[in-house]
Structure 1
Amino acid sequence: MFLGLDIGTSSVKAVLVDGNDRLIAAAERPLVVSRPHPGWSEQDPEAWWTATVGAVDGLAETHAAELAAVTGIGLSGQMHGATLLDAAGAVLRPCILWNDGRSGAECRELEAAFPELHAITGNLAMPGFTAPKLMWVARHEPEIFARVAKVLLPKAYVRFRLTGEMAEDMSDASGTLWLDPAARDWSDAALAATGLTREHMPRLVEGSDVSGTLSGELAKRWGMTTAPVVAGGAGDNAATAVGLGAISPGDSFLSLGTSGVLWVTTDRFAPNPGSAVHAFAHCIPNTWHQMGVMLSAAASLAWWAGVTGRKEGELMAELGETPRGASSVMFLPYLSGERTPANDPNLRAVFAGMGAETDRATLTRAVLEGVAHAVRDNRDALAAAGSSVAEIDIVGGGSRSRLWAQMMADMLEIPVHRVEEGAVGAAHGAARLGRLAATGEAPTAVCRRARRLESFQPDAARAASFSESHARWRHLAPFAKEISR
């Protein structure tokens, strides 16, 4: 048996997967995000730990025998978060999350002071990345910065609590702006540009390698006679790729979670910072990837549900299942700024085209379409970076909607496939990495493609309607930029 743990933004998921790669059980514990100021986003690392232990305790209550048979544990986690520890391993402040936009000024300063940044890291400096966050802490909280002994990403902090080891995999490390993804090593120059050294970093491991062993105390708590090994793991998107079997060049998928990601696997490090596309190392050795990133994908629907006081399912039910062309009302889904292709943390969301006849269902449809327009922007940015997308598997919470999946097919004019276990893809990928670490098997033998449950083909008439609408939708971004100053 293998255990996958996904340290997400809204919850921690734990899954048990057997030797036939079948999902045996799953447990989940919620998390909350703190927003003490506009544009800020933080979490208490202790909450990740409490949720992780609670989720595995839940599995122990319902599947004790299966949990006791676990030989490998894999970790997945939300990327970029700055978890700051002192010399004793104590947390110094709440973690600054991936969707926190406070460090825009520091991004500009980093690019000006360190012109080699793009060539080494392959990416633009964005507020979501970890390095600018540390520059912000150095400026605004110097007494905390002076005490920083280690900087860990969220899943690395959970690993530390599980094993006592401070380690990080290549995929998650790529999102710090301190890694040289081509060399798969920390960049001393990038660290120095932010006042840090290798001593502040965890050691690097491949995602499928052993990073440590579960502590004896926790193994006893969960009924394990032999403490399982813990794999290097992966950032959430790379773990999703492993769960989907997207480990070969050209494999692609769309994740519609809190954020949105359009992913393409590559056989080499292929940066193109000008298009605001991320170029990272994969968690699988000798593999890389490109991705376009949207900060508010399914989060846009969750926000709208909160505004209307309705559950997301109720809002979707009002739309029915019948697909149609573009709505006259448009939505720009920049609730927390945007990465690809805008790279602007200050952009904000916009509804446009409303009239006296506009009702709640029309606005709900506009929210779904707005996210689909943003995905099309990301598809175009990936094309500019040299990666074409011919078809995609769709995963994440948004993948449960057949209407949204069809909308994506029409908007992108490519086939879209709903796949098995799409909602727990990252946790399943983490379990696969745990298996690789425990058994030493080849990734190609374990990371098989997910079974497709349903395919959605683009409709020519609706695609033409969305294409015309997209040209108008793109005019909203300059307007949003003007009013968001």
Structure 2
Amino acid sequence: MTYIGIDLGTSSIKAVLVDGRQNVLATAVRDLTVDRPALLWSEQNPADWISAALAALHGLRDASPEAFRRCAGIGLSGQMHGAVLLDERDRPLRPCMLWNDGRAAAECTEIEAAEPDSREITGNIAMPGFTAPKLLWVRRHEPDIFQQTRRVLLPKAYLRLALTGEAIEDMSDASGTLWLDVGRRDWSDRMLDATGLDRSFMPELVEGSQPAGRMRAELSRELGFDAPPLFAGGGGDNAAGAVGLGAVAPGTSFLSLGTSGVLWRTTERFEPRADSAVHAFCHALPNRWHQMSVHLSAAASLSWWASVSGQAEIALLGELGQLTERPSSVLFTPYLSGERTPYNDPQMRGGFARLGYETDRKAMTQAVLEGVAFAFREGKNALEADALPIAEAMVIGGGSRSDLWLSILADVLDMPLSRYRQAETGAAFGAARLARLACSGEDPEAVCTPPSGDVDIFAPRAARAAAYSERYEIWRRATEVSRSLC
């Protein structure tokens, strides 16, 4: 049997076809675009997800038709927090407000006032990117749409609804709505009431490794499967990435250098750290949780700089070479759409500092890479406060293809980073593993093993780590300026 993993990301949909030995037989990627019609807004059309997912499935079929035909299960991974509002016929009422949409800051205060135990129930500060504040924003600014809303789904749950007809969500993705009692792994009636909703608006909850619908028969025939594949609950993008990396035992960590940035640690129980803007969510596997520092602009910062400078990202990185001798003379704060950990401030904005006539493009590119690394260091500090240190981490995400960036990160974080070739497919591979577990009922520990094979180790260099530690303190002052100018 074979299994498919589909990762509904922000910039693209990625799909992988995996065999019973966990070999990746085929991959497919289809791009997505983000609309920003107003300041702090970030939206996508849910119909684009469906067309891109179907195109990716066709790509897998064309690449490996026999293995595709035998697919037994499909797992979904997805960008978290998005609000898909559906009417009584499950039709979207408006574009989806995405995870990095920052318009609902005032509504966060309203939610925590309406439910004073919000942080204890959910394990998190109310943040504009979460789903629940978005619904309050819609109720206030688009009351007609709120009145028509009969169901609220996250992005991957909407994709599942389109492919299976079932409204089902997994625990890890549901953790980012601000409606889940994360410790109990169930919807919180108190949090729903704080936003004028009840359980009738919510999808069914399952664990990420449990069955969660089967592909609609007519669609299965159209795509050419032998039988309609079983869907797994799946996971939020980072939880699925953790499954793909084998980060399932307490204490295991990874760093995701994607559009956004995440430093993850698996925990054996619910351990909220809300006051430092650390996320405490359910894992995609039963009886496991995790903590994350989250940074809204990671590899997106380099993409932005490439667009502004009129150069391709690969060309900008090529100008710097494989290693840098010292920190850049320029500072960059990567708050292009606000920041979560440790500030929880959607109004923060980034910028360059310490520019001079001698500043060139290379210095500014290096500053972008370093600014993102310094943001990760702030997140690492928040995770380690009054807790065990993070000694090492695996890395995934598009930015991790850069040896230079990983070297800088290892020096700034002062810890070794491991990049596995097997882990390049990231969350989509983890989703395929969840599909296998849903079909087979195997022990997750036996399936969700760490990567093997080729590995690149990026170890910190003492002199560079010391230099970056000094530069980090200067960078933090630039961060305070960014906050004061909001």
When normalised by structure 1's length, the TM-score is 0.99
* Contiguous gaps of at least 5 residues in structure 2: none
2: CA distance between counterparts of 1:201 and 1:336? 28
Deviation at 1:422, TM superposition (A): 3.6
Find 2:482's aligned residue among 469, 480, 483: 480
1: CA distance between counterparts of 2:111 and 2:422? 40
The answer to whether the 8 Å contact 1:399/1:422 transfers is no
Report the equivalent of 1:54: 55
Q: Deviations over 1:420-443 (max 9, x none)?
A: 244421000000000000111110
Deviation at 1:343, TM superposition (A): 0.4
The answer to whether the 8 Å contact 2:235/2:431 transfers is yes
1:222 pairs with 2:226: no
SS at 2:328's partner residue?
coil
Q: Which runs of 4+ in 1 moved over 4 A?
A: none
* Contiguous gaps of at least 5 residues in structure 1: none
SS at 2:250's partner residue?
coil
SS at 2:15's partner residue?
strand
1: CA distance between counterparts of 2:43 and 2:23? 35
Report the equivalent of 2:152: 151
2: CA distance between counterparts of 1:459 and 1:292? 24
* Superposition RMSD in Å: 0.9
Task: State the percentage of identical aligned residues.
Answer: 57
Deviation at 1:323, TM superposition (A): 3.2
The answer to whether the 8 Å contact 2:111/2:133 transfers is yes
| Aligned CA distance change for structure 1 residues 236 and 387 (closer, same or farther; 3 Å) | farther
SS at 1:71's partner residue?
strand
Deviation at 1:261, TM superposition (A): 0.2
Report the equivalent of 1:430: 431
Report the equivalent of 2:9: 8
Report the equivalent of 1:302: 303
Deviation at 1:217, TM superposition (A): 1.4
2: CA distance between counterparts of 1:158 and 1:313? 33
- Equivalent residues in 2 for 1:379-390, closer than 5 Å: 379-384=380-385, 386-390=387-391
Report the equivalent of 1:461: 463
Deviation at 1:325, TM superposition (A): 2.7
2: CA distance between counterparts of 1:324 and 1:256? 23
- Equivalent residues in 2 for 1:91-110, closer than 5 Å: 91-110=92-111
Bigger shift: residues 57-66 or 246-255: 57-66
Report the equivalent of 1:410: 411
Q: Deviations over 1:374-411 (max 9, x none)?
A: 00000000012635210011110011011111111111
Find 1:471's aligned residue among 466, 470, 473: 473
SS at 1:417's partner residue?
strand
Report the equivalent of 2:27: 26
Q: Deviations over 1:185-240 (max 9, x none)?
A: 00000000000000000000000000011111121122112111000000000000
Report the equivalent of 1:177: 178
Deviation at 1:309, TM superposition (A): 1.1
2: CA distance between counterparts of 1:476 and 1:110? 32
Report the equivalent of 1:240: 241
Report the equivalent of 2:282: 281
2: CA distance between counterparts of 1:324 and 1:346? 34
SS at 1:253's partner residue?
strand
The alignment covers a number of residue pairs equal to 484
1: CA distance between counterparts of 2:187 and 2:18? 33
Q: Deviations over 1:313-351 (max 9, x none)?
A: 000000000233322210000000000001000000010
SS at 2:49's partner residue?
helix
Give the letter for the 2:87 counterpart: D
Give the letter for the 2:477 counterpart: H
Give the letter for the 1:292 counterpart: S
2: CA distance between counterparts of 1:385 and 1:279? 15
2: CA distance between counterparts of 1:16 and 1:208? 17
| Aligned CA distance change for structure 1 residues 120 and 385 (closer, same or farther; 3 Å) | farther
Give the letter for the 2:346 counterpart: P
Give the letter for the 1:70 counterpart: C
The answer to whether the 8 Å contact 1:73/1:434 transfers is yes
Deviation at 1:356, TM superposition (A): 0.3
| Aligned CA distance change for structure 1 residues 134 and 387 (closer, same or farther; 3 Å) | farther
SS at 2:126's partner residue?
coil
When normalised by structure 2's length, the TM-score is 0.99
- Equivalent residues in 2 for 1:370-385, closer than 5 Å: 370-384=371-385
The answer to whether the 8 Å contact 1:169/1:283 transfers is yes
Deviation at 1:307, TM superposition (A): 0.4
SS at 2:357's partner residue?
coil
